[in-house]
Amino acid sequence: MFIDGVFRSLDPMLKACLSDPTFDPQDYYEKLEKAENTEKIWGDLRSIDAKSSGLLTHISVMFVVLGFLAADVDSVFLRALLTIEFLAYIFAAMVLLRCLDMTGPPLNDLPDDPVEIRKVQAREGLLRKALYVRVLRLVYILTALLIPIVGIKLLVY
């Protein structure tokens, strides 16, 4: 299926851009388990899922705001700004959707060894954390940039 092909193409790129080869994710979660946080990985995944859903809601609201702002803009400069902002929000939403992937890596790709499965789960949790934090920062900047754009629109129109 086309969608699966696109996902399989983008996911390795995201992992390559956001992973640190010197960092041992299993060690990270083992330390948390020693502190009696045995459900830390699944708790992290649930937390990131909820936070990503909230951020996607914010992005949806920003789509509506941008749509209203762009409705009667005659200025090429302002229309270009709104278009760039809209495209950046679309990119942010697409990356955030990766954080909502319920299964993480495909189940048939999981190794038989429980220790290796734990490493896969740990990497997935940390990847989602990295994605979420970066998208959160991007959305914060985009939302802050929208304030002067609204000001320009109100002054010009």
Structural domain contains residue 1:
no
Domain contains 8:
no
Do 119 and 24 form a contact (C-beta atoms < 8 A)? no
Tokens of 20: 């640190």
Q: Could you tell me if residue 138 is inside a domain? A: yes
* pLDDT tens track for 103-147: 555 544 556 666 676 777 788 888 899 999 999 999 999 999 999
- Percent of all residues in the chain with a pLDDT value above 90, rounded to a whole number: 36
Is residue 17 included in any domain, yes or no? no
Domain membership of residue 54 as a residue range: 30-156
Whole-number pLDDT of residue 107: 47
Any domain includes 93: yes
Q: Is residue 115 part of a domain?
A: yes
**Domain-embedded: residue 117:** yes
SS3 percent helix, strand, coil of the chain, rounded to 5, is 80, 0, 20
The total number of structural domains in the chain stands at 1
pTM score, whole prediction: 0.73
Q: Would you call 152 exposed, middle or buried from its count of C-beta atoms within 10 A (0-12, 13-18, 19+)?
A: middle
